[in-house]
A and B are shown apart, each in its own frame.
Chain A
């Protein structure tokens, strides 16, 4: 009788154990309990795994490596402090090489085992896997700053957006007396989500200040900007806005210098990378880069701390402004996960809820304070402005503290609620 009872009991216990395991691995919303906290994919009793879907072999390799170095330094700090919710942070880093096709193929290998994306790099990649992210309820930090993508509830933009960057940048030029109401201003922008989002900002600023806006659409493959700059000089443009690649920025600055066309050039954060520094200094002096994050060589105390750690641990790696940005993204995730832990829910749905409840994320001024509680609205409107400087590590020198232009305050982003 005892043996007859024991066998079904063993079978029942085994079934329960197996179903608990499979629930952890695949159930995106329900999850199992662990230490009083509901858990979902990517979360165990000891670890929380975040994915990085990034570009380690393509055109944004330097950017990705900088961001990941920042992530790793944050991870070391947070794990040394006991982790989050009693769990150590782990990363699963997958390279898509900036190819949407590759990203679609590799996404299923990555998605089932992570709690969210610590970063997801690239507008075309975002566009390609956006439906899957929504379906899988994966909260993701997008390394793409287009306000067009804020209609996806699972996307975190860790800072302000391209349209607001340009508005703030032009406002800075006006405040400095470099442009005035009624001036002619050119805007060279890449056809697509990135460029068109930047152009929204210029159009809004031009309306506010009666500017004669001369937009010039290019493709990401174009690299020779000489005829464009010649044309803008002929039109009497007193400033040029850029929503371009670094190679295109270099061509604009080089041509302007050759033509002795001495006008300020203001650009979104991706217009700069260290290759721009190859130009002679006078060409660089006119460039102003608008960004949500501070620079590597910034005097913000947390940035200095990050820079020091980076110099100790990555002595051979080139520093850039994405290193402190990578650390800031870690801090953003930390606060979201801690809130989810307080809510007792580390499932994907729980993480998403914690993200939406986060209205005062702070990164010690690596990035402005962020409010994610209004779906569709940029999380901040504040920016830093920097200029190229070959004498400082990372090649960028911050020229303003965090600030928000009055025009940035009144601008309504594409998916922002208006009431």
Chain B
């Protein structure tokens, strides 16, 4: 029982970070119909800025600047590239994001050289103990931050003008434009929010207790593991993204603990396939209706 609870705590902690990342995929997809494969590079960008500014600004200042940099990076991608390609095929835009991902990732890896620095800060430290269960700090804080940010996002999504505009544009872009809502403002803000969430996620990912690795290619790989989470939940469902993140985190932990570690990665994709067979649009995705 102790092992089960320990794996559950570990899975939920990681699931919270996957949820933040998956939410980024979903927000962008809802606003622009683009699957953003540059999300991993935005995670790296945020982490790199934290590393670059930590000595000058201290951890808290550097973390704030890193989060802002990831958000700004996403906004620039949208403003400079995506918004200039309105007539492009969605597949072309996906390829464009892959190109952006390669450029940003390789440049950051080149700058890091052979080092893979941990972001450190208050997230590292002695774990908490609840009887026989150990909760590592990044996992606990990720869970709390994840719940707070996701709740805040849902409240904003439901009750603010921005949220209404986002939902309206996701439903019908032309009608939204006719209602006087600026599409560029909606899409730009969606990319910005997704980038900010990526900037938050990296603060947890590049720690000893969460991933065991500093900032590097491994960080990018973990960020991309959130993609199945978004697919499982439904690529246009924000609630689904959160559930997908938790499912991925728990699947990874349980399979590594009870079946085998090398099966845990493929298990995530196996779950994704099973979900897609049962519900091709994901657990909470919107079924595409077409007139016959």
Q: Which A residues have a C-beta under 8 Å from some C-beta of B? A: 57-59, 61, 191, 216-219, 221-228, 230-231, 233-234, 247-248, 250-251, 254, 258-260, 279
Contact count band on B? 20 to 34
Cross-chain contact B3 with A247 (CB below 8 angstroms): no
**How many whole Å from B48's CB to the nearest CB in chain A?**
18
Cross-chain contact A251 with B208 (CB below 8 angstroms): yes
Complex contacts, A61 vs chain B, CB 8 Å: 114
The one of A217, A218, A227, A248 in contact with B253, judged by C-beta atoms closer than 8 angstroms, is: A227
The one of B116, B217, B261 in contact with A227, judged by C-beta atoms closer than 8 angstroms, is: B261
The one of B217, B218, B252, B260 in contact with A216, judged by C-beta atoms closer than 8 angstroms, is: B260
A61-B114, A223-B211, A251-B212 given; A228·B261 CB < 8 A: yes
- Supply 15 A–B pairs (Cβ within 8 Å), ascending by A: A57-B113, A58-B114, A191-B262, A224-B210, A225-B212, A227-B256, A230-B3, A230-B6, A230-B10, A231-B7, A231-B257, A247-B212, A248-B212, A258-B136, A260-B134
The one of A221, A227, A228, A234 in contact with B2, judged by C-beta atoms closer than 8 angstroms, is: A234
A259 to B209, CA, bound (A): 12
Q: Is B155 an interface residue (CB 8 A)?
A: no
Complex contacts, B105 vs chain A, CB 8 Å: none
Cross-chain contact A234 with B257 (CB below 8 angstroms): yes
Q: Is B145 an interface residue (CB 8 A)?
A: no
Complex contacts, B262 vs chain A, CB 8 Å: 191, 217-219
Complex contacts, B258 vs chain A, CB 8 Å: 231
**How many whole Å from B254's CB to the nearest CB in chain A?**
9
A234 to B211, CA, bound (A): 21
Cross-chain contact A218 with B3 (CB below 8 angstroms): no
A58 to B208, CA, bound (A): 21
Could you give, for residues 194-237 of chain B, a 1 whenever the CB lies within 8 Å of some chain A CB and a 0 otherwise? 00000000000000111111000110010000000000000000
Complex contacts, B136 vs chain A, CB 8 Å: 226, 258
Q: Is B127 an interface residue (CB 8 A)?
A: yes
Q: Is B187 an interface residue (CB 8 A)?
A: no
A191 to B262, CA, bound (A): 10
Which of chain B's residues 138-156 have a Cβ closer than 8 Å to chain A? Answer: none
Complex contacts, A227 vs chain B, CB 8 Å: 7, 10, 252-253, 256-257, 261, 264
A sample of 11 more A-B contacts (CB under 8 A), given A230-B10, A259-B6, is A216-B261, A219-B262, A223-B211, A224-B213, A226-B10, A231-B7, A247-B116, A247-B213, A254-B212, A258-B127, A259-B134
**How many whole Å from A236's CB to the nearest CB in chain B?**
11
The one of B3, B127, B218 in contact with A234, judged by C-beta atoms closer than 8 angstroms, is: B3
* Pair count A-B, CB < 8 A: 76
**How many whole Å from A258's CB to the nearest CB in chain B?**
5
Complex contacts, B113 vs chain A, CB 8 Å: 57
A226 to B210, CA, bound (A): 8
Chain B residue with Cβ nearest A226: B10
**How many whole Å from B67's CB to the nearest CB in chain A?**
23
Cross-chain contact B134 with A254 (CB below 8 angstroms): no
A216 to B260, CA, bound (A): 7
A250 to B134, CA, bound (A): 18
**How many whole Å from B247's CB to the nearest CB in chain A?**
16
Cross-chain contact B114 with A57 (CB below 8 angstroms): yes
A221 to B257, CA, bound (A): 19
Complex contacts, B127 vs chain A, CB 8 Å: 258
Complex contacts, B257 vs chain A, CB 8 Å: 227, 230-231, 234
A254 to B272, CA, bound (A): 31
Complex contacts, B212 vs chain A, CB 8 Å: 223-226, 247-248, 250-251, 254
A59 to B113, CA, bound (A): 9
Which of chain B's residues 61-115 have a Cβ closer than 8 Å to chain A? Answer: 113-114
With a 10 A CB-CB cut-off, give which of A61, A233, A247, A251 has the most chain B CB atoms: A247
A61 to B10, CA, bound (A): 34
Cross-chain contact A254 with B114 (CB below 8 angstroms): no
Complex contacts, A248 vs chain B, CB 8 Å: 212
A260 to B132, CA, bound (A): 9
Chain B residue with Cβ nearest A55: B114
Chain B residue with Cβ nearest A219: B262
A58-B114, A231-B257, A234-B3 given; A223·B213 CB < 8 A: yes
Complex contacts, A221 vs chain B, CB 8 Å: 217-218, 221
A234 to B260, CA, bound (A): 14
Chain A residue with Cβ nearest B14: A224
With a 10 A CB-CB cut-off, give which of B136, B212, B260 has the most chain A CB atoms: B212
Chain A residue with Cβ nearest B113: A57
A258 to B127, CA, bound (A): 6
Chain A residue with Cβ nearest B212: A251
Chain A residue with Cβ nearest B6: A230
A316 to B102, CA, bound (A): 36
**How many whole Å from B140's CB to the nearest CB in chain A?**
12
With a 10 A CB-CB cut-off, give which of B136, B208, B260 has the most chain A CB atoms: B208
Complex contacts, B256 vs chain A, CB 8 Å: 227-228, 231
Could you give, for residues 1-36 of chain B, a 1 whenever the CB lies within 8 Å of some chain A CB and a 0 otherwise? 011001100100000000000000000000000000
A58 to B260, CA, bound (A): 30
Chain B residue with Cβ nearest A215: B260
A2 to B30, CA, bound (A): 97
A58-B114, A230-B3, A231-B256 given; A258·B261 CB < 8 A: no
With a 10 A CB-CB cut-off, give which of A191, A219, A222, A254 has the most chain B CB atoms: A222
Complex contacts, B261 vs chain A, CB 8 Å: 216-218, 222, 227-228, 231
User: Closest 9 CB pairs between A and B?
Assistant: A251-B212, A234-B3, A223-B213, A227-B256, A223-B212, A231-B257, A224-B212, A258-B127, A217-B262
Complex contacts, B7 vs chain A, CB 8 Å: 227, 230-231
